[in-house]
């Protein structure tokens, strides 16, 4: 029976995974911060964001902010912290559903509401975590996220996002 399944699999298209909202939004945030590092000038810390898709881990993102005059690093590769700062470098762990990342980035889900309703789980410095919301807002927040998603995913999604705000 398994031979038949393998033979059938040869003729079926490969399963294509649709990119998550995080895979679209985090690289865009990185581009914005590369262009203007002052958007996150005072933020210093490492955010480890676990992205869930219907409760199952899908992605892990690392957002490393190094304070003034240094460009932040946003990637799916774990960054290396300088040895002298490891013990004092603030780290925030975030667990969030992919759909909620979209709501967070577009301003539809404020950080405090997300945390108090347990739509986002945060371990670490809550004040530092709240500063991430400010970075999203300074980087363009609702307008840029909605426009970018409209461009990437199609007009209907962009219209739904703007209508929900």
The confidence score (pLDDT) of residue 145 equals 64
The confidence score (pLDDT) of residue 81 equals 75
Is 63 in contact with 43 (CB distance < 8 Å)? no
Going by C-alpha positions, the residue among 102, 100, 105 that lies closest to residue 115 is 100
The residues near 40 (Cβ < 8 Å, ≥ 6 apart) are 33, 65, 72, 135, 138
The confidence score (pLDDT) of residue 152 equals 62
What residues in the chain have per-residue pLDDT under 70?
1-3, 5, 7-10, 12-17, 82-87, 141-142, 144-146, 148-150, 152-165
pTM (2 d.p.) = 0.75
The confidence score (pLDDT) of residue 52 equals 93
The confidence score (pLDDT) of residue 48 equals 94
The confidence score (pLDDT) of residue 159 equals 45
Tokens coding 8: 């059938």
The confidence score (pLDDT) of residue 135 equals 82
**CATH class for the domain made up of 18-164:** alpha beta
């Amino acid at each position: 029976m398994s031979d038949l399944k393998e033979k059938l699999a040869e003729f079926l298209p490969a399963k294509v995974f649709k990119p998550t909202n995080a895979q679209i939004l985090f690289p865009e945030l990185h581009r914005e911060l590369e262009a203007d590092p002052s958007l996150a000038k005072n933020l210093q810390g490492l955010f480890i964001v676990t992205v869930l898709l219907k409760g199952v881990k899908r992605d892990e993102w690392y957002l490393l902010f190094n304070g003034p005059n240094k460009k932040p690093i946003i990637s799916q590769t774990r960054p290396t912290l300088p040895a002298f700062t490891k013990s004092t470098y603030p780290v925030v762990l975030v667990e969030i559903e992919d759909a909620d990342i979209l709501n967070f980035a577009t301003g539809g889900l404020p950080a405090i509401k997300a945390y108090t309703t347990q739509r986002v789980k945060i371990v670490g410095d809550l004040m530092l975590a709240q500063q991430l919301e400010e970075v999203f807002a300074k980087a363009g927040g609702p307008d840029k996220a909605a426009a970018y998603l409209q461009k990437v995913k199609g007009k209907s999604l962009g219209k739904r996002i703007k209508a929900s705000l």
